[in-house]
Structure 1
């Protein structure tokens, strides 16, 4: 399993989606994250190349339509993925700062 280096907010969203289930198909991850397929699929490819994710094509022929590719976060990657998701949430919550407002007593945080 390779080091991912810098993890973007979009990567953290993909990891969060992968943590939520044993196996998730690509378009469901797109829906879960609210990101476009052109953002999600390159992230999935990078995670797969780094050995964090295993992707498999659907084998059932009962469902009509194109085959789905399912992605599974590997066991060794789960603790690291949780850390990245937590770190991203922490960054996001610390980025939200109170807006100062002026009232009779002067400037204060709202």
Structure 2
């Protein structure tokens, strides 16, 4: 796996995808769930794909043609074979390295 920036927004996206790690999801739905705009979610998904965490595919043309009302074709994202585990490890590292706020006890690192 190549490195990728672990921003707070990236953490939100990975946590959402890990809610159901075997289910492909399309970018707009992910963005709605984590309350991020398309201009934020798409670059995150592209970085995660380049890093080997996610892979993407376009929805079947027949499925798209049958949609009512008509809408743009969807691009779906899903974890690669090892992507879900890599995401869990990356989130655990980010969680562990997060500095505690003044007066707050450090939180234990746990697997997500």
TM-score, normalization by structure 2: 0.72
Q: 1:75 and 2:74 equivalent?
A: no
Matches within 5 A, 1:16-31: 16-21=15-20, 22-31=23-32
1:79: how far off?
1.3
Flag the structure with higher strand content. Answer: 1
Structure 2 gap ranges (5+) = 105-112
Matches within 5 A, 1:1-110: 2-21=1-20, 22-59=23-60, 60=63, 61-63=65-67, 64-89=70-95, 91=98, 94-95=100-101, 97=103
How many residues align? The count is 96
> Secondary structure of 2:36's partner?
coil
TM-score, normalization by structure 1: 0.73
Q: Tell which structure's C-alpha radius of gyration is larger.
A: 1
> Secondary structure of 2:82's partner?
helix
1:4: how far off?
2.0
Structure 1 gap ranges (5+) = 99-110
1:89: how far off?
4.5
1:75–1:95 CA distance, 2 compared to 1 (3 A): farther
Question: Conserved in 1, the CA contact under 8 Å of 2:27 and 2:42?
Answer: yes
